Amino acid sequence: MTTFDRRPDACAALAAPVVILVGHFGSGKSEIALNLALGFRARGEDVSIVDLDVVKPYFRCRQAREELRARGIRLVAPAGEHAHADLPIILPAIRSLLQRPPGRVLMDVGGDPVGARALGSLSDAVVPGATELLVVLNFLRPYTETVDEAVEMVRAIETAARLRATGLVSNTHLLAETTPATVVEGVQMAEATAARLQLPVVAAVADEPTARGLAGRTLPCPLLVLERLIRPPFEGTREQRKVGPLFVLN
């Protein structure tokens, strides 16, 4: 049993049936989408995860196909050899999932405005009120290092997606070198960005060791405790590699 199977409460803050994750390239969308999918599933929900990543060639949700199936999560992504193609494939099933979600639908959109453009082609199928469009921010990534840059990134993504963001997710981290202070400073910058954009920060993200270090501190938003599922093959303990989770490369 992995950590996420034991943590059914991480997703409580999100009520909308459709949750779309957008953001800068490398901001953590796929990792958060997979964690949310597993979290919602652990709460007993019917979960679909849509891999609309037309930007990065590796580390996409589709590469966890078997692991997701084993957990009863529906994956909507190019299959067969097209799963490994660097082609902007948009499956027709996505449109109906957005309009008539059978349960919870999570969508992992490719990074940057370039990736959000694929979402733009589906924007007419997005049901306002039933959809959260969350922008993931990591202030330790190039091009979203300041509040100004983050505001610019959010606006550019909104333009490309032809949709308005409904909230921000604070995901400032340095992988294994993340400290509780990293998360707290990231949340402060996300709050400043949110104030400029008149949006809420719907969640802060931290991995389990960092979350333990945050115990006793009050954050202005719910904390999503994340298990790092997307890892290169040399990382993690033997036990972690054995139980899954979703090492996402072939």
Partner 1 sequence: MAKKLMKGCEAIGEAAVKAGCKLFFGYPITPQNEIPEYMAHRLPQVGGTFVQAESEVAASNMIYGAAGSGERVFTSSSSPGISLMQEGISYIAGSELPVVIVNIMRAGPGLGGILPSQSDYFQATKGGGHGDYRLLVLAPWSVQEAADLVQDAFDLADFYRNPVMVLGDGLIGQMMEPVEFKPERTPCKPLAPKEWAATGCSGDRPTNIVNSLFLDPEVLERHNQKLKAKYDRMVRDEVRCASYGTDRPYDVLVVAYGTVARVSSTALDDLRGEGVDAALFRPITLFPFPHAELRAAAEKAQEVLVVELSTGQMIEDVRLALEGRKPIHFLGRQGGMLISPEAVAEKVKAIQASSAEVRRG
Interface with partner 1 (CB under 8 A): 25-26, 56-59, 84-86, 138, 140-143, 145, 173-175, 177, 232-235, 238, 241, 249-250
Q: State the minimum distance, in angstroms, from the CB of residue 48 to partner 1.
A: 26
Residue 40 phi, psi dihedral angles, 5° rounding: -65, -40
3 state DSSP class of 204: strand
Which of residues 74 and 231 has its CB atom nearest to partner 1 in the complex? 231
Q: From CA 140, how far away is CA 142, in angstroms rounded?
A: 7
Which of residues 70 and 85 has its CB atom nearest to partner 1 in the complex? 85
Q: What residues are paired with 167 via a beta bridge?
A: 134
**Residue 29: which of 52, 6, 4, 1 has the closest Cα?**
52
Angle at 140 between CA 136 and CA 145, to 5 degrees: 85
Which of residues 131 and 138 has its CB atom nearest to partner 1 in the complex? 138
Q: State the minimum distance, in angstroms, from the CB of residue 27 to partner 1.
A: 9
**At a CB cut-off of 8 Å and minimum separation 6, what does 213 contact?**
179, 180
Which of residues 130 and 151 has its CB atom nearest to partner 1 in the complex? 151
Which of residues 42 and 153 has its CB atom nearest to partner 1 in the complex? 153
Positive or negative, the CA dihedral 215, 181, 247, 203 is positive
- Identity of the amino acid at 61: C
Burial of 97 (0-12, 13-18, 19+ CB in 10 A): buried
Q: State the minimum distance, in angstroms, from the CB of residue 116 to partner 1.
A: 16
Which of residues 83 and 125 has its CB atom nearest to partner 1 in the complex? 83
Query: What are the structure tokens assigned to 66, written together?
Result: 């078997």
Q: State the minimum distance, in angstroms, from the CB of residue 140 to partner 1.
A: 5
Q: State the minimum distance, in angstroms, from the CB of residue 242 to partner 1.
A: 8
Q: State the minimum distance, in angstroms, from the CB of residue 152 to partner 1.
A: 13
